[in-house]
Amino acid sequence: MPVNDPIIAQQTPRADHTIDQMWDKYTPEEHGVWKTLYDRQMKVLQGRAAPEHFKGLELLNMSDEIPDFRRMNEKLMALTGWEVVTVHGLIPNDVFFDHLANRRFVAGRFIRDAHKLDYLEEPDIFHDVFGHVPLLTQPVFADYMQAYGRGGVKAMKHDMIENLTRLYWYTVEFGLINTPEGRRIYGAGIVSSQSESKFSLEARSPHRVHFDLERVMTTDYRYDDFQQTYFVIDSYDELMEATAGQDFDPIYAKLKGVPDTKPDTLVDGDKVYTQGTQEYAHAGGLKAEAVAV
């Protein structure tokens, strides 16, 4: 639990781990951090983020202050039947999956300190809302997120949570998409990061490979640094068709015992857009204090 948010500390989470956002308790300084991050990212994302992200920001009217979930949810519910709920911090997998399966996206209440704009130990409200929520205005992606939540229950029964987590990581958090204007970012972990927004598209170091479900689910990842491989989709429909309605039982059976693929490795069958130099990884990556979430 973030110790710098007394509003969280004074609340007892409900059975589903939600708390009240208590929007009126945000300070001017906290709203100022949101605006600083928002203005900075909007400049960085021009020509880099997927058009659907900008459209979602417009539809939800995100801009100068931390969004009030009560007002934002009225618009989001009307668009795709989703709502954003506040949680006290990191929550158990089964609770997370249940929220997604019922079209509830969980978001933290706290926002990072002004002197730590580029590093967090856990996601804050800017990452969760600015990064994730705009795409929930898009029906196909909204359905994909619900399908992922439903799939989580089965993954737990098969003891394959790690494999399913990789799917979320390499799509929802760090996915790239081909568009008529060129390759763009849709993953929230990139969209909310000033430095990785540039690195993911423009650096020579990482591999960029077309999305393949089983390849993704067997590929390890870095949670504390830039990714060494990014997976690219052609459309959200492609992502939906590859996962929703898919019988994962034979996939899980096939993947049992399969060695992990290292994140800096290309494998036979990859459709490679960019074979990276891996110079960043070979140089040791970033120091922790310089890593953006």
Query: Beta-carbon neighbour count of residue 82 at 10 Å?
Result: 19
**Residues 125, 265: Cα–Cα separation, whole Å:** 33
> Which stretches of the chain score pLDDT less than 70?
1-4, 119, 286-293
Query: Beta-carbon neighbour count of residue 25 at 10 Å?
Result: 13
The count of residues in the chain is 293
Contact 78, 139 (CB under 8 A): no
Give all strands of the β-sheet with 272-274 in edge-to-edge order.
182-185, 176-179, 229-233, 207-210, 272-274
In which residue are the tokens 């973030």 written?
2
Residue 204 CB-density burial (10 A; 0-12 exposed, 13-18 middle, 19+ buried): exposed
Could you read off the pLDDT of 268-290 as tens digits, one per residue? 999 999 999 999 988 887 633 33
Give me the pLDDT at residue 283, please: 85
Contact 142, 103 (CB under 8 A): yes
Contacts of 6 (CB under 8 A, 6+ apart): none
Could you read off the pLDDT of 218-250 as tens digits, one per residue? 999 988 899 999 999 999 999 999 998 788 999
Q: What distance lies between CA 146 and its chain's CA centroid?
A: 14
Integer CA distances (angstroms), 193 to 75, 208, 286, in order:
26, 18, 14
Q: Tokens at residue 176, please?
A: 């790239």
Give me the pLDDT at residue 293, please: 33
Give me the pLDDT at residue 42, please: 97
Give me the pLDDT at residue 203, please: 96
Sketch out the chain's domains with CATH numbers: 6-290 (1.10.800.10)
Q: Tokens at residue 226, please?
A: 């830039």
Tell me the H-state helices in 187-235. Answer: 188-191, 194-202, 213-217
Give me the pLDDT at residue 1, please: 43
Q: Tokens at residue 58, please?
A: 């417009």
**Residues 56, 135: Cα–Cα separation, whole Å:** 6
DSSP percent split of the chain into helix, strand, coil, nearest 5: 50, 10, 40
**Residues 46, 28: Cα–Cα separation, whole Å:** 27
Contact 82, 142 (CB under 8 A): yes
Contacts of 70 (CB under 8 A, 6+ apart): 21, 23
Give me the pLDDT at residue 110, please: 95
pTM recorded for the entire structure: 0.94
Residue 187 has φ and ψ, to the nearest 5°, of -70, 135
